[in-house]
Structure 1
Amino acid sequence: MEKLQRFGYPVFFAVMAVLPHLLNPRWQAVAITFLIFAVVALSQDIVLGKCGMFNMGQALFFGLGAYATAILNSKFGWPMLATIPVAILVPALFGILLAGPIVHLRGDYLLVTTIGFNIVFVQVLQNDLGGLTGGPNGIFGLDAMNLFGLRLASQVSVYYFAFAVLLFTLWLMHNLETSKAGRALHYLREDQLAAESIGINARVYKIFAFGLSAGIAGLAGTVYATQYSAVSPEAFDFIQSVLFFSIVIVGGSSVPGVLLGVFVMFVLPEIFREFATWRFFIFGFAMILAMILRPRGIWPAKFGRIPAYLVKESKHGA
C-alpha cells in the first residue's frame, strides 16, 4: 500500500486539479462538497482515528466555523476573508473547553456526551441565539469570498479554494504524523496506561487533539458558507456527525482511507441517486460487509505500539 500511496497521490492531485473543467454544474457542486467533507473527516480522524476517542459531534465544530463566518459577514459587515481566523479559533477554543471535562470518558460514555453537545448546539441555532443565528431558516445572502482581489463568484473558483484548503489540511496532517504530538496520540490510542508510564500526559494531548480537530473543522465551515452563501441548522445536525464518524470507520484511519471513505459514503450515493428506493439498503449492507471483512477500515493506517524497551526503562526508572 505504501507504493500505491507514493504513486497514487500525484495522480489524485492531478485529477483533482482539472476535475471541475470536466464536470457540469451539478457535479461541480458535488466535487466541492467532497472536498469540504474530506477536510472535516480528516479533522475527525485526529480524534477518532489517531487518538481513539469516540467523538460523535464533529458537525458541531463544522457548524461553529460556518456560523462564525456567516454572522461576522452578515451582521457586522466583515469581509469573508477576514472571518477565516475567527472561524478557526472559535471552534478550536470551544473544542478545548468542551474537551476539558470529558476527555476522561471512554467508549460509549464519550460518544453519548458528544452527541448531546451536538444536539444542544443545533437547538441553540434554531432558537436564534441573541438574534444572530436566524433561527430555523439560518442566515442567507452572504457575500462572495474575495481573495486579495480575486472574487470567488463561480463554482470553479470556489472549488479551487476548497482544494487549497484540503491541501493545507493534508500538509497539517503530514506534520502531525511525523511530530512528537502525533506519536503521542498513536501511543494513547494503542495503550494509554503504557503511554502514561513513559511520561505522556494523556489529558493534555487529548485536549490538544480536540482543539486541533475543531479548528480544522471550523475552517471547512468557512468553505461551506462560501459555497452556499448561506448556513442553516440542519446542515450541522447529529446526522452529519454520524456521516463524518462513519467515513473514518469505513475508510480507515489514514489519509487515503478518509478520502476513500468520503467517496464511498458521499459520492457513491450521489451517483446512484436515481435508485433512491434501494441505495440506502445497498450501502447499509455494504457497510456491514466492510466492517466484517475490514474491521479497521478499507485503508487503515499502521499504528505502531510503544516500543517495549521504553516502557521497561520507564518502569525501571520509577
Structure 2
Amino acid sequence: MTALLSLLLLGSLLATVVPGRLARAGWAEREPVLALLVWQCLVVAVLLCCLLSLLLAGSAALPELRALVFTGAPTGVEAAYGLADGEGWGRLCAALLALGGLWTAYSLTREIRSARALRDRRQAQLRRRAPELPGELTPRRRRGRAGRERLVVLENVRPEAWSLPGPGARLVVTTGALQQLTDRELAAVLSHERGHVRARHHWLAQWAQALAGGFPGVAMFSAFRDQVGELVELAADDRAARRHGRLTTALALVELNSGRGVFGACTPQFTTRAPQLTARAPQSAAQAPRRVDRLLAGEPRLPVDRRLRLTLAALAAPAAVLLLAAAPGLATLF
C-alpha cells in the first residue's frame, strides 16, 4: 500500500503547496503561454494521482480487478504493491476516489453542454442580427479553409469586439469600434481575438470552469480557473503585440474601454495582472488599465535556458506521478 499512500500524499502536496507559489510567480506575465502549460501539467499531475490511486485502491478492494491489472506482470510485481493486505481500507479509499471521479466527469459534461448551448444561442442571435449573404461561404465549407474566421460587423455605437469560437468561428466588431479605432488598432483587436480562436482557449476555459465548479472547496481548481482567465488574455495580447506593436495594442485597449470610466483622469501606473483585450464584461473592463500598463512596460521574455528549465519542470510533474506509481514494480524487476 506504500505506492497508494505516496500517490495520495504527492497529490495533496501538489494541490496545496504549488498553486499558491505559481500564482505569485512574477515570470508568468512575461511568459503566459508557458505559464498555461505549467498550470495544465500541475492539474494533470493531481488528476493522475487521483486516477492511479483509484486504480490501486480498487485493486486492493477487488481481487478480480487486481488480477486484471497485473495480468502478464512478472513474478513478484503484484506482491511488491502489498494490495492483498488492504482490502478493507482499499474499499473506503476506492469508494471516495470513484465518487470524486464520477463527479469530475459529470461536472465536465455539464460545463461542455452548458457552453455549447450558450454558443448555439449566441450564434443564433448573431445570425438574426447579421445573416449571411447568398454569396458567402457556408460554415461547413468554411471549416475546410484554415484561418478563415468570418468577420461580422454589428450596428452598435459602443466600441466592442469579441470572438465566437467553434465550428464556423466568427470575429465580431461593432460599427462603433470601426469608427473609433484606426486601421492598425482594429487589426490588433482582430489578431487578439483570432489568437483565442486558433489556440482553442475556450476548451481550456471550459475545463478549468468545470473543475472549479465541481469542486468549489479545492483552492487549486479555483486558482486554475482564475489564472486561465487571465493568462489566455495575456497570451492573446502578446500575439497582437508581436504583429502590430505593443503601443498599437495598448491604444486599441484604451479606445475600446474609454467610455467605461475605468481609466479615470490619471495615466495608469505600471502594474501587473491583466485579463482581457476586448470589453466583454464590466469586471474585465475594470482590469484594462493593468493590461495597458503591461503592454507599455514591454518587459522582455525570459531567457531561453530558463524557459527550457520551466518547461522541463512542468513536464516532470506528471512524469513523477507515473514513476511513483510504477516504482514498486520497477524495484522488483531491477
* TM-score, normalised relative to structure 1: 0.26
TM-score (norm 2): 0.25
Higher helix share goes to which structure? 1
| Higher RCO (CA 8 Å, separation ≥ 6 residues) | 1
